[in-house]
Structure 1
Amino acid sequence: MTNRVAIGRWTTSGWSAVRRAPVSVVALVVIWVLGLATSSIVEGPSHALGRDIGLGVVGIEHLEVWGLITSAFWASGWASYVGITILIVAVSVPVERRMGSVRFLIAALTTQIAGALCAVTLAAVAKTVDSDWGFELHIGYAVGAGGWIVGTLMVATANMDTLWRRRIRVGVLALTIVSALFGGHLIDLIRLAAAVVGLLAGPWIVGRSARGPRIAGTRREGRMLVAIVVAASAIGPVLAALSSDAIGPLAVLRDLVRGVPWSAPEVRELCEQSATDPDCRRGLLELRLSGVGPTLLSLVPSLFLLVLSDGLRRGRRFAWWGAVLAQCVLLALSAANFVFRYLDSVDEDTLFYGLADPTVYRTLMPFLTPLAVLVVLLATRRWFGVAAPRHTYRNLTGVVVAVAVALWAMYAAGGFLARSGFDPRPSFTTLVADFPERLVPPVYLQWLDPRLLPVNVPATVLYEWTGVAFWLVVIALIGTTFLRPAMEGTDAEDRDRARDMLRNGTGSPLSWMTTWSGNSYWFAPEGRGFVAYRVLAGVALTTGDPVGPPGRTSELVEGFAEFAAENGWTPCFYSVTESVRRASDALGWSSIQVAEETVLDLGSVAFTGKKFQDVRTALNKAQKSGITAEWVRFPDAAMGITDQITAISEEWVADKGMPEMGFTLGGLDEVDDAQVRCLIAVDEDRTVHGVTSWLPVHRDGRAVGWTLDFMRRRSNGFRPTMEFLIASAALSLEEEGFEFLSLSGAPLAKMDPESTGVDGAFAAMMDNLLDVLGRTLEPVYGFRSLLAFKSKFQPRYVPMYMTFADPAALPSIGSAVGRAYLPEVSMSQSVTLLRTLVARGK
């Protein structure tokens, strides 16, 4: 009975898949049936059959156009059949369900046929540029379903959310370009061409995303894309090395990671006959590349770049410098290769960078990959400013030196004990001098004659695996540094000290923002408090109130003012409360109201009466729709949740066409904090419809309230998500015993624009300037609309001020405020803002 139930379930699931993705399922069945019928599963179609059903340049020249379609229903061997099956199930079936079977069929036919024709055209062009590559493409033929699978995926990205549209496109294009340049077969060109065709045809087949084609994103996502590019460049030579018949223009780089199986006795015998014989030299070079150890050592640069890619994903400054250095080294080696070849400084029979095939084209091609990656890294330098905690790399250097010294001693001592296993028998001094070469990937040693070669197992282990052990330890240590908590723009110890003081002391509703990246810290003597600030345009611009014991506000304001003056900066306190304003007034400063904080006092929250109609409606609709509010911490949340939050945020940024604002407005980097709570709206399918983040507010060492910061809603999700989440947060936190919720302040927005609290003519001019700035950014960021939205909760309004010592510095202060909120506005984003303003003016 159990077996019958299981069979019934499998049958039901299979029929459901056929109904929901019939084109993909039928294509998969046809591929396997044809493969079995023609005995092509194990080694692919026979040569004669391949010529008949495959796609080839010669066939197209003879108008045998059926190969454009038939080539997609066979594969080149059992591994390809398994890979195609996985791709159809994992990619094609979900894509077909998403776009519908008719559109999927149109997309598959379009990308397969157009991609194949473009690939044949590229093959014809390649022959004029690189005769060897072009000849291989001309005489070969291609089979495989990769073209239409990749093409339909790229078509589907046209109406995806911005986050996944970017990731899939960059990832697919990077991999297909690398495959075409390194593998270089006709099927690789078909996949690349089909991807490009799908990219162009997607909007015509499935339409565009509701939010349009905008690609603006956060630094967080930009880092991810750069990491993908660097990782793809590292994987390329490995892919070429794994292919026994790679023919692409960069396939010559496979010799960097692949050895040739010569044995020491063969080389020794050859060199005894004639030490000057070219075969002797080549044998010595190839011996260095043979075996598992040398192969792993040759993979070190690729492994190193992959680890650095993880650091780039995290925004690490060290990873950026490491990746830049790696690309510069590759460029330098390419240049040396070119110079040595044409100066005849080395034997033409060398293994490095394809000099055995000495054409200018193939010698210059290796420049292109590191040069392109280097340009990408330099263009995105501003995204990688995250520093590791203090002394991280000083400590790392000490550990690496210790490991190197230990391995050096082990190699010299062990080699001397096993010296009979080397040819010639080395002295202790020779082993000490030979150790540095053991750390270098073998291919880079081709211009040096080896001092000695191993001839037995113990000597071989020392000779081949010492360098592998060293670099694996180094790579693991570097990767570990990327996992350590880091910060951006200031010292990690200062930030940790500020966090501890804030958690154990008293702060204002905005004080947790002082712990964000980009701030520096001034600490009062004897640890009585601190001020978070950033220096912009010569202005020391603070974030919120000084943090310290109650009653010491005036002391902290005055102390920070003296500190700023000593450094030649103009002090300016931004988004501060009435207490700071009074303290600065006592010093003769001026002040301007720049925002209005909205506060909900907990203890009697009911949301009853006509004024709360919108809030009650949101709560009732959520209940009927099966949507609930759930507290999570972003660093600890399930990947399915965090990925959805990231996608929602990226979509919001793309919709603006402008970068996320900073300073007093947090983004995903600030949400990724164990001390910050997130309230998400999820339905029964675990789809996240919206998210809010809440910053802790401390008094005397305990949390007494929470401040709203991050607010994002899914564009096509539950519409009153924000009303539901804020109301749910108020009810939930009231039950937990907290005193208040701050809905934070909307920058450059006030409930009563006429009530400014401005003192003096200069201050009035500054107030007008900020008012113009607020109205300017309103169409893009909607701060005033946000303040009006918060009024639905009938909050208590608390004015927030900017206080400054020197009215004559107001132009610099205005510039500093603008740069603090928008530190990274590109030219294209400036144009976007201008267009928005023009449209609003119309």
Structure 2
Amino acid sequence: MTEHDRVGRAARAGAEGRLRAGLPRLLSVCLTAAAAYSAAIAVLPPLRRWLATATEVIESAVFPVEPNLGYAVFLAILAGALARHKRAAYWVITAIFGLLVVGNLAVVLSSTLMPDLVDEFAMTPQVVASEFNLVLSAVAFGVLAAARDEFSAPTRRASFRTALLTLVTLLAVSFGIGWALVGLFPGTLRPADHLPWALERALGGVVDLDPYRAGHPPGWVNFLIGLISAVAVLVAFAVLFRSQRARAELPAAAEERVRALLAAYGAHDSLGYFATRRDRAVVFSPSGKAAVSYRVVAGVCLAAGDPVGDVEAWGHAIRAFLEEARRYGWIPAAIGSGEAAAHAYARAGLRVLELGDEAVIDVAEFTLDGREMRGVRQAVNRVRRAGYTLRIRRHAEVPDEDMRHVVERATAWRGAADERGFSMALGRLGDPADGACVLVEARDAGGRLDALLSFVPWGEDGLSLDLMRRDRDSDNGLVEFMVAGLVGEAGRLGVRRISLNFAMFRSVFEQGARLGAGPVLRLWRCTLVFLSRWWQLESLYRANAKYRPRWVPRFVAFDDARALPRVGLASAIAEGFLGVPGPPAPFRRPAVAAPLPPAPAGR
């Protein structure tokens, strides 16, 4: 074989590989279009009448479409499962195309072998459509068979059994309700036909126990039973296509490896230390020199912050992360990534959008002097005159009894509210493994603890805000007092930079309020101000902006624009903005982590 032949064969193999890799997304797009079409003609009767001929052609020559909302939902569920490479969805779509091949082949053969039984003028268009659909379905069936390995994402263990049990249970409920309703509202149906009729309707009409039955109950009874049965089928398929669950847990050995990477490369990212949250999992690069920390929420494999470790190995860790997501049919995404990590995710094939900005105080440049800092300066002076004092210590320097008191006060101040934070919060306080964290306590003139801040280490010379709590009855300005006091003590702690809260959509709030801002920007800002009534978007921006910080952009990376709403939902759940039951709170380990292992050699 010549070099030219080898190059040509390699090129063809690469093209075939790209075609197979793109098949799940292509099928998902086609089924999504069919679902949208079926939903549109189901809810809009004028459109259904106008497109009646087109619907008939599509259904007979391309793919089944029905003016049925339940069928549209089924196609949408199947499309989502195919996009996630679900193996169960592969068998369902393969069975559909297999049935289409058999059905169209039967029509074509009957018209060829038994022409005397076929009305030539009535059947010719149907035969032509069946021939076209036969070719199309056979090609699709063959491509699916060749691309079987592309659908490798497993379903949850025992999901088929659970889905079957769900279907049988809900159909039994449908049958019971139907039998009861037809007994109360029989219409013209004879009493002996009540039970078989209810069974037929519960099974969706796929069986006909008595084709010569006369009479029927009111139309709304038939509709209600059909609706319940349709919901039963949809719920069963949703259960079948559920994403594989992942244990939201960071084992001790993995935590030690993450801490080793932070010790060597932790200065890169102010959010790096949050990768030690114990309700996250972690995937390492093949060399072990970088890792991506994530949690699976609502079928989204959600990473947070930058990858931990050597920047040169980030790409390998991200590819391992994407392979993990694809293996189990999860949607990959990353929130709160810095600019360098956003470029790394983009190189790996993800799309990137700016999410907001992180407020970073450079200690050497911070001052309370000047007109712009007047509000902060007045708050600090007012709190100081009220007799408040500060105490700043590393967690390792806080006696156990004092730390227990701090934890109790922080818990009491939080009250019944849910613990928030995923990308920029540690989720624990007072753990012995967090001795390098810094605790800032504000006490009133009588020595009572009224507010606290806790910061995690950011490399050797930085701190990143983790926790902010205060007594609601305490004086205003305590937070400004503590931040300014921490900056004043930064030299003693060896700290040169302090990361505060993250301000989502910061540029919109800032630029939308400027003179001459365009109508679109002003409308976007007004929308965010309205949403701030519930999610404190504007107040977080203003709380950070008063310190005149350096703004560092943060990004969100995602696989597909269609998945962006689901990524947003998963982020809101993970951060605690939506009260959806989630993984358990991070647990405390009774002992400090073992000595850090050396970073592996090689990338």
Structure number with greater CO (CA < 8 Å, separation at least 6) is 2
Higher Cα radius of gyration: 1
TM-score (norm 2): 0.49
Q: Which has the higher helix share?
A: 1
TM-score (norm 1): 0.35
